[in-house]
Structure 1
Amino acid sequence: MEKKKLLEVSHLKQYFNVGRADEVRAVDDISFYIYEGETFGLVGESGCGKSTTGRSVIRLYDPTSGDIKFDGIDISSIKGREKLSAFRREMQMIYQDPYASLNPRMKVKDIIAEGIDVNKLATSAEDREKQVNDLLKTVGLDPSHGTRYPHEFSGGQRQRIGIARALAVRPKFIICDEPISALDVSIQAQVVNLLQELQEKEKLTYLFIAHDLSMVKYISDRIGVMYFGKLVEVGTSEEIYNYGIHPYTESLLSAIPLPDPDYERTRQRISYKPALPDDKERQLRDIGNQHYVYCSEDEVLDYQEKLAKKKNS
């Protein structure tokens, strides 16, 4: 049975004007898709356009050009309060900073219930309370925590509250915008495991944005590597992690530490140096088995040979 593409992004461009003359090409002509029920990891350094991509997908920004289809519908065609509200119920976001994204003056139960109230998803006050308590239990918190304020929780607990808020409207698709980068390493794995459990239980689809390729590999089915507004490599998580061949991907992989003192003593960091501009037309091209690399037509064979050498070594 053919997989259903829940999200399709085609030739997305998101440009911003800075001052009178300067233009920032935050996202510069990227295309990708996400199958229903999978996690697509988007990885790259700060400022590469990852979060801007996520915010364009959820319609926080109007794209400069390009198409974004969600569940077969062009999101730019969604007009009117009711239709927009229905779209936003289907697609939610978990933010990077779990403290800044929560209103410090609201109790946790009211923060979680915001979406329930706005979308009239509760039939009574008792039903509202039951839904909030169920959500708190779902994310590993006690229902009694609902009467507290965000400052009374740890970073990991606050992120769980943010996850509960996103789940409250029963979405199909969640954009996880660096949801673990502000957390201690010991807590990151707990949050990622929770997201995976929820995905299986609730049949969710994720766009998981991060700068840590090792964590993205752990949670993702497929990975897109982003640099300077471009997708430079896309493939399965195993393929990218073990056989990433674009020079920028190789630089990210070389930065991943391993719990091996001998390896760490000899680990060589690869510094990425972009090629000088030329007149070649580059785009994502399939070098085999749905492994895509940003290259020109005459560079495809070079990358195929490089990939074969890696797999045979």
Structure 2
Amino acid sequence: MAEKLLEINDLKLYFNKGTANEVRAVDGISFDIYKGETLGLVGESGCGKSTTGRTIIRLYNATDGEVLYKGENVHKAKNKAQLLKFNRTMQMIFQDPYASLNPRMKVLDIIAEGIDLHGLAKSKEERTKKVHELLETVGLNREHAGRYPHEFSGGQRQRIGIARALAVDPEFIIADEPISALDVSIQAQVVNLLKKLQREKGLTYLFIAHDLSMVKYISDRIGVMYFGRLVELATSEQLYNNPLHPYTKSLLSAIPLPDPIYERNRKRVAYDPASHQYTDQEDVKMREVTPGHFVLCSEKEYLEMKKTSSVTTE
């Protein structure tokens, strides 16, 4: 059994809590991430997936729940030494490669920020050498260190962002829609780079995206979010071959394929939240329908899914 690196227990993040304008961006979600794997987190815009990533890394303070990293509660880290230790092991790659880099800083100093903060270079020469090695690791040249962000394309900027995240030798990286702002031809290059770095450095990823086909390509397991809640969690194969939650089925039906005949006959599955409401008396929670395949459902729905799944696998 793989080592459990991250454990999320009933995590909540509410904005304007207790007011008429309360927004439950993350509403009691739980999942684990194991060392060396990539967990994909998908859902439509506004479902809370990016907020989940930012809460895990403590860019937002959780309203309730736990984020345990190697058994330690991230949100209970109080002093500077504890925070620095945590920040070194967990890094984030941001969605917008244009806004996430300081336009007034050279690439050398952008990448070296973490090196400086954690005292990872004993001299200016060692600092520069580390940055040059990082640039080459992500497919850029050491000559790029003396340039400013505006001199690069979107794909190159995202590589700089990846180099910055790698600078402190993290174990876990949250990639928050790292390819959504890039051209399709560049997206594959960035994802392949992430997979290559994972193999070479033993990294663990939380890969947040709304492109289901790309998430399937990079992820070992996938969690589906809807309105702040996790509605389904399974391996990539399980989720794509046997989706169980109506919302997941709707998402998968929207994926286009480069096949004209298929596209002419493809039928979209509409998800109507009104037809999937629960009463206050119903026990709605994540239930394991088949080994490793969890769905947010009531007891009645669980028994029906269990019955259907057993017929499907026979």
Report the TM-score range of the alignment, normalised by the length of the smaller protein: over 0.9
Gaps of 5+ in 1: none
Rounded to whole Å, the distance in 2 between the matches of 1:152 and 1:218 is 31
Number of the residue aligned with 1:228: 227
Alignment of 1:91 with 2:90, yes or no, is yes
Gaps of 5+ in 2: none
Number of the residue aligned with 1:250: 249
Deviations 1:171-194 (A, max 9, x none): 010000000000111111110000
Deviations 1:160-207 (A, max 9, x none): 000000000000100000000001111111100000000111111100
CA contact (8 A) 1:231 1:294 kept: yes
Number of the residue aligned with 1:211: 210
Matches within 5 A, 1:159-198: 159-198=158-197
Number of the residue aligned with 1:109: 108
SS of corresponding position for 1:22: coil
**What number of residue pairs does the alignment pair up?**
311
Rounded to whole Å, the distance in 2 between the matches of 1:263 and 1:19 is 48
SS of corresponding position for 1:281: coil
Number of the residue aligned with 1:141: 140
Number of the residue aligned with 1:121: 120
One-letter code aligned to 1:266: N
- Greater alpha carbon shift after TM alignment, 239-248 vs 30-39: 239-248
Q: CA deviation at 1:308?
A: 4.1
- Greater alpha carbon shift after TM alignment, 273-282 vs 286-295: 273-282
CA distance 1:91–1:181, change in 2 (3 Å): same
Of the candidates 287, 308, 313, which is equivalent to residue 289 of structure 2? 287
SS of corresponding position for 2:95: coil
Rounded to whole Å, the distance in 2 between the matches of 1:311 and 1:23 is 43
CA contact (8 A) 1:254 1:270 kept: yes
Number of the residue aligned with 2:301: 299
SS of corresponding position for 2:192: helix
CA contact (8 A) 1:243 1:311 kept: no
CA contact (8 A) 2:290 2:309 kept: no
Q: CA deviation at 1:62?
A: 1.2
Number of the residue aligned with 2:54: 55
SS of corresponding position for 2:52: helix
One-letter code aligned to 2:291: N
CA contact (8 A) 1:68 1:76 kept: yes
Rounded to whole Å, the distance in 1 between the matches of 2:96 and 2:312 is 38
Rounded to whole Å, the distance in 2 between the matches of 1:241 and 1:156 is 29
Number of the residue aligned with 1:66: 65
Q: CA deviation at 1:245?
A: 1.6
Number of the residue aligned with 2:277: 276
CA contact (8 A) 1:245 1:306 kept: no
Q: What do you get for the CA RMSD once the two structures are aligned?
A: 1.3
CA contact (8 A) 1:176 1:206 kept: yes
Rounded to whole Å, the distance in 1 between the matches of 2:44 and 2:140 is 32
